[in-house]
Amino acid sequence: MSRDAVDLRRPVLEPRPVEVAALPQQLTLDLSRTAVVAVDLQNDFCHPDGWLASIGVDVSGAAGPIGALAATLPALRAAGVPVVWVTWGNRPDRANLPPGVRHVYDPDGASTGIGDPLPGGSHVLELGSWSAGLVDELVPEPADLQVAKYRMSGFPDTPLDSVLRNLRVDTLLFAGVNTDQCVLATLTDAANLGYDVVLVEDLCGTTSPDFCTAATLYNVRQCFGFTTTSAELLAGLHP
C-alpha cells in the first residue's frame, strides 16, 4: 500500500492436503484452508468454581475435553492451522440480550442468571471477567484469535464469519462445550453459511445426558458434515 496505489490481491495459498479417517467417510482436508473453532471452554462452564457448578451442575463432562485439546493444538498450530477461540462474553449492561435469552438462563427470575454476581465476585458470562475467561489449562498463543458471542451460536451478532473469511478458510474443526448446545448451534450455522464442518468427538464435551451426544453425532454425520477424533487428525498430520 502506498499513497498512490493499493494492492488488493490476497496471498495464494498452496494446497496442503491430508487424509483423515472420519465418519461417515474418509476425508481429504486442505490444511491451508482449515481452522479450529474452540467453543466456550471457559470458567463458567468448565471450572468447579464457575457458574454451572454454582447452580448444581456436574461440570466434569464439560471439563473432559480440556486435556485432549491442550495436547492436540500444538500439532495443529505447527501445521499452520489457525485457532479461533469463541467464548460467551456479554456486555456488562446486557443491553443486547433479548428477554427470551435472559429467561432461558434464569427461568424463575430469582436464580443466578447472565450478568449476576457469583460468590467469588465475578459476574456470569460477562466479557472481560474471570467467568468468561478460558480455563487455565488452555493458553492462547499470540497468533490465535478470540471472538465473543452472546447466543448459543457463535455467528449471530459477532465478527466470527468475517474473521474466518479473512483467514480464507472454508473447513472448520469444532471443539468445545457443550457438544449438543453451543458447539452444535455454531456448527449448524457454519454449515448453513457454506463452511465444511468436522466435529472432533473427543475434543468436545457436555453436561447433558449421553443420549444428547449420540443424537448430536448422528445429526452432524447425517445432515451437516463429519466427525473424527484427535487421534485420527494427528495420524493425518503425521502419516
For 84, phi and psi rounded to 5 degrees? -115, 115
Q: Establish whether 212 is a catalytic residue.
A: no
Confidence of residue 221 (pLDDT cuts 50, 70, 90): very high
Which listed residue (44, 149, 196, 202) is catalytic? 149
Q: Which of 180, 182, 189, 202 is catalytic?
A: 182
Give the domains, in start order, of the chain with CATH numbers.
17-237 (3.40.50.850)
pLDDT of 64: 96
Q: Which residue type sits at 238?
A: H
115-161 pLDDT per residue, tens: 889 988 899 999 999 999 999 999 999 999 999 999 999 999 999 99
Helix 66-78 and helix 230-237: axis angle, to 10°?
20
Q: What is the pTM of this model?
A: 0.95
Q: Has residue 1 got a pLDDT over 90?
A: no
Query: Could you confirm whether 149 is annotated as catalytic?
Result: yes
Q: Which of the four pLDDT bands, split at 50, 70 and 90, describes residue 110?
A: confident
Residue 157 annotated to the active site: no
Looking at residue 84, its pLDDT comes to 98
Residue 136 confidence (pLDDT): 97
What is the Cβ-side half-sphere exposure of residue 75, based on CA atoms within 13 angstroms?
14
pLDDT band at 100 (very low <50, low <70, confident <90, very high): confident
> Grid coordinates representing 171?
473447513
Pick the catalytic residue: 40, 189, 196, 202? 40
What is the phi/psi pair of residue 175, to 5°? -130, 165
Q: What is the pLDDT of residue 108?
A: 76
pLDDT for 141: 97
Residue 113's pLDDT is: 86
